[in-house]
Structure 1
Amino acid sequence: MSTLPSNASHQVGVAAFVLNDQGQVLAVQEKNGPLRGSGTWKMPSGIINQGEDIHSVREVKEETGIETDFLEVIGFRQGRQVLFEKSDLFFLCVLRPRTSIIEKQDSEIEAAKWMDLEEFAGQTFFENNVGRNMMEVCIAITKGGYRGFGMEFLSIGTFYPNARN
């Protein structure tokens, strides 16, 4: 009998902390979703597609047109029984921008801009425990007080000497 789950048991999301040389954060406002119409600015974020790598952070290019380089994962959280009763793994990544001209995606994004870090972090959205912890880590990164996990390609394989196909 197989012990594998019948289907995916988790969804994986990613948010991108993108800080430019002027100390501004790449920020977006949702056109759809839970923050729609709230005036809240957030980091570009979204759900990872099947077969997509966390470090690709496709959402940044898709939502804002900004090209980036992945630097590191600086945190993650798990939510249980979120969408479709699945666990939600959400990774916070740091990216370095390679471009600066914003070309927002009209279907998902109401507005996009470069925003001063202090103003961005001062929003009420970041007053709850999860939001506050997330911003504290992002700010620590800017001051060199924290390092996350970089990306390294590893060959993944398992050897089972008694396995049968």
Structure 2
Amino acid sequence: MRVPDSAALDLTGLLPPGVEAPNIIRMLSRTGVNMRPFWAFGMAFRDNDQLSDRLRELVILRVAALTRSTFEREQHEPMARAAGCTDAEVVAALDLERDLDAALPPDAAALLRFVDQVVGSYGDPAAIDGVQPHFTDDQIATYTLLIGHYVMTAMFLKTTDVAPDPPAVPPPAN
């Protein structure tokens, strides 16, 4: 499927003036009225004070690994580093064979195991048990929504064969 030319798109209010539309927005434009709410929904996770930027990016990288989403991995590796993730944490999030407890702090290890369980079981309530000691119910609910959003995004990007953009300047941290 061809990514539309950004010159033909009305992106008023979606991106700062002069910013070239990334490939994901250009392909999302094919969904008509769904583009703006979908983009706003994803961007809302960046403005959510319940989630740490570091853990949010580790979750996204883990989803990228589980779904084999090259786009999400390439776009979010620099964002993860800008959010304070170490190289070792990035590698641990992307390596599905790595011992998470040996590679990550307890909260991050529990959260990435939660990602594995949510994605692998399509939503088993028992998955919450491992993260409850580390996170509030509100945070768990929000991380669950984040996981689902990025799984859906990965499926969209892979199915429509959207190529990753060159790495952009990472967004500012909360």
TM-score, with length taken from structure 1: 0.30
TM-score (norm 2): 0.29
| Richer in helix (by share) | 2
Which structure has greater strand proportion? 1
Considering only CA atoms, is the larger Rg found in Structure 1 or Structure 2? 1
